[in-house]
Amino acid sequence: MKLDLMAARERTVPDVLPPAGERFDVLFCGINPGLYSAATGWHFARPGNRFWPALHASGFTPRLLAPSEQQEITRYGLGITNVAPRATAQAAELTADELRQGAAHLADLAERRRPGLVAIAGVTAYRAAFARPKATMGLQADRIGPAAVWILPNPSGLNASWTLPRLTEAFRELRAAVREQ
């Protein structure tokens, strides 16, 4: 598997989006694909990543989906993309320019596909990509295209300060905001 992971460096993972014209409540946006995700082609795929458990436990999906079932989320008005498309072992390997370019791409995607909310999983990446150094978790004053912006904690297992229960609560707050729209 180590060779597979090294071969995945620089790969991208395609966006998962509802069909054009269908309900699109939330576009979840990771920082960038990790090597494990790039090797599998699935978002948030590394064992220990809490995205899929938090998505289910917060009520966004009726059952726990495996990363290999990522296309299923489109049935619930959800999608997934990344700020930066390039796979790396750690998000810290991304350049500031890659993050800024990702912000422009994300704005274009939101303009074209029109999700109600863009939920970025990682406050540090949001701060760098969108030049918002004081951004905090939750709803932002800014918009990305027509979409409201919500910052979630990074669900990576490396983000130990955010346990699954805390992460689930953050996802629940986002879900409540979606219902209010």
* Mean per-residue pLDDT of the chain: 92
In this prediction, residue 159 carries a pLDDT of: 81
In 3-state terms the chain splits into helix, strand, coil percentages (rounded to 5) of: 40, 15, 40
Give 124-145 as a DSSP string.
Answer: HHHHHHTT-TT--SEEEEEEET
Q: What is the mean pLDDT of residues 65-92?
A: 94
Domain boundaries, the chain: 2-180
Of 130, 122, 133, which Cα lies nearest the Cα of 100? 130
For residue 80, is pLDDT > 60? yes
Question: What's the pLDDT at 11?
Answer: 77
Three-class SS of residue 157?
coil
16 DSSP 8-state letter: B
Reported as a pLDDT band with limits 50, 70 and 90, residue 6 is: low
pLDDT for the residue 32 = 92
Q: Residue 133: what are its φ and ψ, rounded to 5°?
A: -65, -20
pLDDT at 25: 98
* Cβ atoms < 10 Å from Cβ of 136: 11
Q: What number of residues does the chain have?
A: 181
Residue 168 DSSP SS3: helix
pLDDT tens-digit profile of 39-66? 899 999 999 999 999 999 999 999 999 9
What pLDDT score was predicted for residue 7?
67
What does the pLDDT read at residue 2?
A: 57
Q: Which residue has the higher pLDDT, 26 or 156?
A: 26
Q: Using one digit for the tens of pLDDT, what is the confidence trace for 111-136?
A: 999 999 999 999 998 999 999 999 99
Token pair for 66: 């495996």
Model confidence pLDDT, tens digit, residues 132-173: 999 999 999 999 999 999 999 999 877 878 999 999 999 999
Does 79 or 1 have the greater pLDDT score?
79
What pLDDT shows up at residue 136? Answer: 96
Q: Which CATH class is domain 2-180?
A: alpha beta
More confidently predicted of 35 and 52? 52
Q: How confident is the model at residue 181 (pLDDT cuts 50, 70, 90)?
A: confident
Question: SS3 of 88, please?
Answer: strand
